[in-house]
Structure 1
Amino acid sequence: MNYIIGIIGLAVFLLLAWVISSDKKNVRWPYIAIMMVIQFLLAFLLLKTPYGIKFVGWLAKGFSYLLGYAEQGVNFVFAGLENPAIGKTPAASTFFMDVLLPITFISALIGILQYLKVLPFIIKYLGLVISKVNGMGKLESYNAVASAILGQSEVFISLKKQLPYIPKHRLYTLTASAMSTVSLSIVGAYFTMIKPEYVVTAIVLNLFGGFIIASIINPYRVSDEEENEVIMTEEGEKQSFFEMLGEYILDGFKVAIIVGAMLIGYIALIAMLNGIVDAFTPGKMNFQTILGYVFAPLAFLTGIPWSDAVRAGSIMATKLVSNEFVAMLDIQNIVNNKTGELSERAIGIVSVFLVSFANFSSIGIIAGAIKSLNDKQGDVVARFGLKLLYGATLVSFISATIAGFFL
């Protein structure tokens, strides 16, 4: 039964993309079918085979070592500041210390790999291979891989020279890929909140899912002239190693602070909305429950049992209106407290759904990043912001549905 619902769900999500397609007659369905098959194969390898499980285990172990090294730096600077736990409530500063601040160290490592030309090499040639599968241009394929490594705003710095000349239809695909992925610098934080196999599976599935949805919503062909664009360029005077290192460390710290600020604001806002709803329906309902009823049918189509659909839909909607960290905290609390609010299957599907930057705040982040590089193109992105979020959310639903076949 789960398989039947999953197949229906995939059909519905693809239909929802086709409904707003800019060119319904020229959608390249053969390429979409190939990418769907690849997604199923990758999900199977990562979730069901010993090789995929070992790979994820190795990756998680590697990140645990990195987080351990990061902890030494955090403890040196912030030693003694952690507040003691009160009853069942964890230490107030644990999330900031253990999850957000290590981003600074991971960002420094990314900068080193970038400086040594390791990341540009991987991005360039992996993008070239992917372009043969998705039927899109090298620029789009490069951007999708680069977004998953550099981040949804940082990736556009690497396209600064090309940005003024990118047409609107290609710009949509580039920004959709950025919103559908997550950055490598933040993956370690996700590993501390949900199971690593769900994080890795989502990253891989979203890469191809972004191409699938963009190919339906925004179909086009890239000319030979465009195909030959140079996608890797050097900007300005080359930095010294320590200039680069300082820049990436500060960038990582800024990300940690910004994410922390957003969490404070969004969690407080949701708490206020819960309080308002509770005032009208004492003890019966809150704002997240209302969102859960709205998202429940979509959650059900991903393969989540109907008994879990409202609670799962609530977490999915929370991610959309706030961000993935707020929603992951819900999952973490359910798992740690063993409340039984969601089945293991539902937790897995929702976890895969959460691993992306598809939320309202990302519209402003991406549009702002591009506007800082090119004012005109930033305005273009802002105008199709809601369409961008719509497509990226469908990517998350498709990835979650495919993962559900193997959970």
Structure 2
Amino acid sequence: MIYGLCWAWSEKRKLFPWKVVIGATVMQFVFALILFGIPFIRSILFRANDVVDGLQAATRAGTGFVFGYVGDNVAGAELMDGTPPPLFFFQILPIVIVVAALSAMLWHWGILKWITNGFAFIFRRGMGLGGATSLAVSANVFMGMTEAPVLIRPYIKGMTRSELLIMMTAGFATIAGSVLVVYGSFLEGKMANPLAQLLTASIMAAPAAVAVALTMIPETTPATERMKEPDFNYASTMDAFSRGATDGLQIVFNIATMLIAALALLWLVNAGLGALPDVAGAPLSIERILGWIFAPLMYMVGVPMEEAAKSGSLMGVKTVLTEFVAFLQLAEVPPDAMDPRTRMITAHAVCGFANFGSMGILIGGLSIIEPSRRDDFLSLSWRTLVAGTFATCLSAAVVGALPYQLFAGHAG
């Protein structure tokens, strides 16, 4: 059904990419079964939540020193009667800085580069992508939507519109490693193995992004040749550490700014809707309206009809505002208010950057990298938003089609 909607918006309906669509679907199931079905890999993946705990403890060591009791709940509990709720800016967001610094160091040491090249090889061989396009897709799994294109900067000028859409859709269908850990921490205790599932969601969405993009704009020219080693390096480990931390700080400020504006806008809209008469025995709200709009989409990916509106509400908030707000709201849903399987499907569906705010960020970032293609970036922006949304929904549909216990089991 989702690919049918993509085909309806295709520029060349006679060139439906059957092989790519089938290959992407098979690849998604294979990724899920390898990561969660092979006991050895599964046990390692399930330990990812221990990584979250370790990163949180390490971050508290830094924030506690810099901000005092404001940055450390343990110290705050000694001054107050009971443990206070964590302060979002001082205790939760700083983990982005730590992860960004570590990611830069892992890239400099070649570890993250090796993993990225490995996925690029899979996409190049399995889906027939060109070298530059495959690297951009694989890099988006671990890097941000504006950082990944930097790896292929020299090649963007000569890329076809189809290749540009693939690159942009991959950015919208995945989430950066710097915020992946934060979202995992939100869902800790609320969903089984959250970090492992979100990492898998980002990996599974990559082939779906390629298939959706090629369905909308089929490729009619030969793929670009395999590219040389990307010119994206740090001078030393200390250079990687400092630049990564600085980049992380910028991300923190951007997140805080967007959250303040988004939540303020949400409050204002709901205040206005609250003045209207009740509908179906309850006040109108933007969440309810978005739930009605996105309920059919969530039903298509496997959410039961009775929970489709609730799940659709989160999908709508993610699209209209930001995935950050959607994950915050998902974490606030009580365990008895949403079926665990529905929660899992919803988490996979909202695991991407496809929202209105990200459109401006992506277009601005890409226009700086390659100004000559700005008109193409603008013309493809709405397709990218829809394609990125559909790609994450396809990943959600795949996990919904597999046994829930496969993802919810615990490591031995």
How far, CA to CA, are the matches of 1:111 and 1:44 in structure 2? 30
Residue number among 3, 7, 18 corresponding to 1:29 in the alignment: 18
From 107, 132, 139, give the equivalent of 1:146: 139
1:256 aligns with 2:252: yes
Alignment of 1:207-356 (within 5 A): 207-220=206-219, 223=222, 226-230=224-228, 232-233=230-231, 239-282=235-278, 283-335=282-334, 338=335, 340-356=336-352
Structure 1 residues 66 and 377, CA, compared in 2 at 3 Å: closer, same or farther? same
Alpha-carbon distance, 1:152 to partner = 0.6
SS in 2 for 1:384: helix
**Counterparts in 2 of 1:50 and 1:271: CA distance versus 1, 3 Å:** farther
After TM superposition, give the deviation of residue 77 of structure 1 in Å: 1.0
Q: Does 1:376 align with 2:372?
A: yes
* TM-score normalised per structure 2: 0.87
What secondary structure sits across from 2:337 in the alignment? coil
Is the 2:48–2:196 Cα contact (8 Å) retained in structure 1? no
> What are the superposed Cα offsets for residues 179-212 of structure 1, whole Å, 9 maximum, x if unpaired?
1111112211111112224312311210111112
Q: How does 1:193-204 map to 2 (within 5 A)?
A: 193-194=186-187, 195-204=194-203
**Closer/same/farther in 2, CA of residues 379 and 17 from structure 1, 3 Å limit:** same
Q: Retained in 2: the 8 A contact 1:120–1:232?
A: no
Match of 1:121 in 2: 114
- Per-residue CA distance 1:51-75 (angstroms, 9 max, x = gap): 4542321222123212321221121
Paired AA for residue 349 in structure 1? I
**Is residue 2:70 matched to residue 1:81?**
yes
Is 2:66 the counterpart of 1:104?
Answer: no
Secondary structure of 1:239's match?
A: coil
Amino acid across the alignment from 1:305 = P
Report whether the alignment pairs 1:387 with 2:394: no
TM-score normalized with structure 1 length:
0.88
Identity of aligned residues (%): 23
What is the CA-CA distance between 1:38 and the residue it aligns to?
Answer: 2.3
- Indicate conservation of the 8 Å contact 2:150/2:232, yes or no: no
* Distance in 1 (alpha carbons) for counterparts of 2:165 and 2:114: 25
Instruction: Verify the 8 A CA contact 1:369 1:378 in the aligned structure 2.
Output: no
Q: Match of 1:19?
A: 8
Q: 1:176 is matched with which residue? A: 169
Q: Report the CA distance between 1:404 and its aligned residue.
A: 0.8
Shift of 1:45: 4.4
Deviation at 1:374, TM superposition (A): 2.3
Cα-Cα RMSD: 2.4
Q: In the alignment, does 2:51 pair up with 1:62?
A: yes
Query: What's the counterpart of residue 41 of structure 1?
Result: 30
1:7 aligns to what? none
The Cα offsets for residues 363-400 of structure 1, whole Å up to 9 and x where unpaired, read as: 11111111122222233212221111011111111111
2:410 alignment counterpart: none
Q: Distance in 1 between matches of 2:22 and 2:386?
A: 21
Instruction: Indicate conservation of the 8 Å contact 2:96/2:248, yes or no.
Output: yes
Query: Where does structure 1 lack aligned partners over 5 or more consecutive residues?
Result: 1-11
Give ranges in structure 2 of 5+ residues lacking alignment.
Answer: 78-82, 188-193, 405-412
Paired residue for 1:158, among 123, 146, 151? 151
Shift of 1:329: 1.1
CA distance in structure 2 between the partners assigned to 1:118 and 1:210 by the alignment: 25
Number of the residue aligned with 2:408: none
Secondary structure of the corresponding residue to residue 88 of structure 2: helix
Change (3 A) 1:73 1:379: farther
User: What is the aligned counterpart of 2:61 among 59, 64, 72?
Assistant: 72
How far apart are residue 327 of structure 1 and its match? Answer: 0.7
After superposing on structure 2, the runs of 4+ consecutive aligned residues of structure 1 that deviate more than 6 Å are none
- Letter in structure 2 aligned against 1:205: M
One-letter amino acid of the counterpart of residue 54, structure 2: Y
Number of paired residues? 388
